[in-house]
Structure 1
Amino acid sequence: MPSHKVSTLARLLSVSTDTVRRWIDDGHIELDPTVPGPQHVDGASVVRFLTERPELHAGSLGRQSHSMRNHMPGLVIDIVSDTVMSQVVLQCGPFRIVSLVSTEAVTELGLSVGSVAIAQVKATNVSLAVSPSRA
C-alpha cells in the first residue's frame, strides 16, 4: 500500500500539516513504520478515515485560493475494475473526482487505493447553477 509524507497528504487534502499530525495523534490515521526518514502516513489508513467520514467529501476540508488550471492532485480512495474499464475515485482537496478509464491504463499507471494521481480535466461543456436562496 502506498504511503505519503505528512506534508504531501496535507496538500492533497487542503489541510495543514498540524491537522494531519493531530489525526495521527488521535489514532485516525496511521504512520507507515516501514519507511525510514520523515514521517510517512499509510495510504490505506487515510482512505479508511475519509470513507468513515463522508462529511469530508462534502467540501469541508478547506478552500482553494488559486486556480487549479484543470490539474488537480489527489489521493486515490477507490478503484472498481472489470476486464475493460475502471472507475477511479480521487479525493482532491475538498473535491471528489470520479474518472472512468481503461483497466489497462490503471495497470500501466500502477494505480492502487492510497496512490497519488493527478486528475486532468478537459471540459467542453461546463454547467453552472446557483443555490436556491440566490435564485
Structure 2
Amino acid sequence: MTHFRISEAAVLLGVSDDTIRRWSADGALDASVDASGRRTVTGASLARRALELAPDPGEPGTMRRSARNRFTGIVTAVQREGLVAQVELQCGPNRVVSLMTAEALDDLAIEVGSRATGVVKATTVMIEAERR
C-alpha cells in the first residue's frame, strides 16, 4: 500500500500540512508512522479525500462540459505578442500554460494574480508514476 508523508499529502491536495494533520486526527485520513518515525497517510485514504473535496458537477448552477481535466490556480505570467497571448497558471504543484488570442485575454481580463481555471480537452493523456 502506498503511503505519503504529511508534507507530500498536503501538496497533492493543495492544503497545508496542518490541515492534513487535523484530517488524520479526525479520522478523515488513515494515518500511521513509518519506519523512520514520520507520520504518514495512506494513498487510498488520500484519494478518497480528494474525491470528497472535488466539486460536484451535478450541482445546480454548475457549468457542465465534456472536459473533466480542470486545473484552477493563480495566473503567474502573461505574455502578449501581437494577436496571441501566453498565460501561465500555477495550480498547486502543476504549471499549466495556455496559448490564446490577445482578444480572449482582454475579454477575460486576465492579469498576473488573477484566479483562473485551465480546462484541458485532449485525445491523448500520458501518465507518469515513480517506480518503486
Q: When the two structures are superposed, what TM-score results if normalisation uses the length of structure 1?
A: 0.48
Structure having the higher Rg: 2
Q: When the two structures are superposed, what TM-score results if normalisation uses the length of structure 2?
A: 0.49
1 or 2 for the larger relative contact order (CA 8 Å, sep ≥6)?
Answer: 1
